[in-house]
Structure 1
């Protein structure tokens, strides 16, 4: 398996350009077709009608259109320079619907973490969570506060033997085969977890058969410790530049409920994270 079709979500945020640069590097590395999906926040039509009559709104929209045009021109120019096949798709439908739908025909989706300091990064409530849960594809999320620009030299896998973690491991194999080192990390005792976990050595054996340089690390944490925090701390401690893990959650009525470790990682990630559900 490798990544032959990559979808990257683009918007008006300050992180769109570096996110595109990462996607371009990965497309070139894996020989993939790159689709840039431009999707921004779509206001309620009634609110849009009220806002459209104001001079401030008109000025803002004109600025956004100019920035969108500049981003599209950059996209095509950089694809040509890198000799990467790709296409630009601008959608008017909400990003929470459009990006998962287009991403289902890809091997990998690249998106960004919500940045509370950049209003343009907001494209809808719980966008990253919805993307992970509904796309059916691995999602590589880039943190808004990180110095990592080219992940994959040292991959760390958060392993608990679950279906989601198993899916993530197999989805991340192209990264692990290219990495210098992959570390399988199991967290024991945290979060009051009592069910038996599958030993990390078992999945490490499978990964090694794919030509991956892999090692296993079991860490102990107190019953009151957060698994998400333990994983982030371990990633920092070993110098990992990509965290791979399962994305846990379910829909409850109209509410999206994420698992504790998943929620912590999505809120506090310090390295790029590849999640699969």
Structure 2
């Protein structure tokens, strides 16, 4: 099992280059094809043209966006050639959320960036990464907007609660897990008794060992009463030197509103290490 088609979201944000660097390294690691999918926020022209004096502004804005897209495309193609990775540049028209989500369903791994509130260029749409994550149908690797990550997947922390979403994430992360130097399973559910926790984690460790994972540890994961599970996981990952957190994503759409689980929402807002999530 491996990732043979990797897709990275490209835009004009400050972290786009870092995402591309990570995507290229992973494409080389897995001998995968790399798609660079360009999608960015685009104001609706009708909202400009109905306001007097704004048509020229919209046209100028559109030309600037086209120039920016061209620069990002040239960067992508140059880096692709330099890394000797097979790939393609994709810049579809239409709603950016719909296009990214649809394209993600024909990729083995999708790489997105965390929304950076201090970088307007990282804004694509309301709850963009969350919406894509819940609709992708496969694993999404989310990269924090802060920090340098030269290695991803050497030290893997699995947040395990026995749920369908967690199981999906673990199976989707197997290409990382079997190559990792260290894998740790942390029981991240308050519904587990100590005996149930140990048994559930042991069964998961045995399954991963059959896939070829060489070093799989089981840890007792605890958190303070005042600390959320998401914050506790991130602290544990940082303290333990992990460079990839694997976990299920929880949420659903309700009356056109995206409702995320508490841990998922916390991780997406505060991630300090790359996170592989599946829904």
TM, length-normalised to structure 2: 0.92
User: How many angstroms apart in 2 are the aligned matches of 1:50 and 1:72?
Assistant: 32
Q: How many angstroms does 1:231 deviate by?
A: 0.5
Q: Which residue of 1 aligns with 2:170?
A: 169
Q: Does 1:94 align with 2:95?
A: yes
Q: Which residue of 2 aligns with 1:75?
A: 76
Q: How does 1:69-218 map to 2 (within 5 A)?
A: 69-187=70-188, 189=190, 193=191, 199-212=200-213, 213-218=215-220
User: How many angstroms apart in 2 are the aligned matches of 1:241 and 1:162?
Assistant: 23
Q: 2:246 aligns with which of 240, 244, 247?
A: 244
User: How many angstroms apart in 2 are the aligned matches of 1:88 and 1:187?
Assistant: 39
Q: How many angstroms does 1:17 deviate by?
A: 1.0
Structure 1 runs not aligned, ≥5 long: none
Q: Which residue of 2 aligns with 1:30?
A: 30
SS at match of 2:178: helix
Q: How many angstroms does 1:97 deviate by?
A: 0.3
SS at match of 2:272: coil
List structure 1 runs of 4+ shifted beyond 6 angstroms.
none
SS at match of 2:184: strand
User: How many angstroms apart in 1 are the aligned matches of 2:48 and 2:163?
Assistant: 44
Corresponding pairs, count = 274
Q: CA RMSD in A?
A: 1.9
Superposed CA deviations along residues 6-38 of structure 1, whole A, max 9, x for unmatched, are 111111111111101111111111011111110
Report the CA distance shift for 1:255/1:242 in structure 2 as closer, same or farther (over 3 A). same
Q: Is the 8 A contact 1:187 1:221 kept in 2?
A: no
TM, length-normalised to structure 1: 0.93
Q: Is the 8 A contact 2:234 2:272 kept in 1?
A: yes
Q: 1:262 aligns with which of 264, 268, 272?
A: 264
Structure 2 runs not aligned, ≥5 long: none
Q: Is the 8 A contact 1:108 1:139 kept in 2?
A: yes
User: How many angstroms apart in 2 are the aligned matches of 1:252 and 1:140?
Assistant: 25
Q: How many angstroms does 1:146 deviate by?
A: 1.9
User: How many angstroms apart in 2 are the aligned matches of 1:10 and 1:34?
Assistant: 12
User: How many angstroms apart in 2 are the aligned matches of 1:88 and 1:256?
Assistant: 30
User: How many angstroms apart in 2 are the aligned matches of 1:24 and 1:94?
Assistant: 26
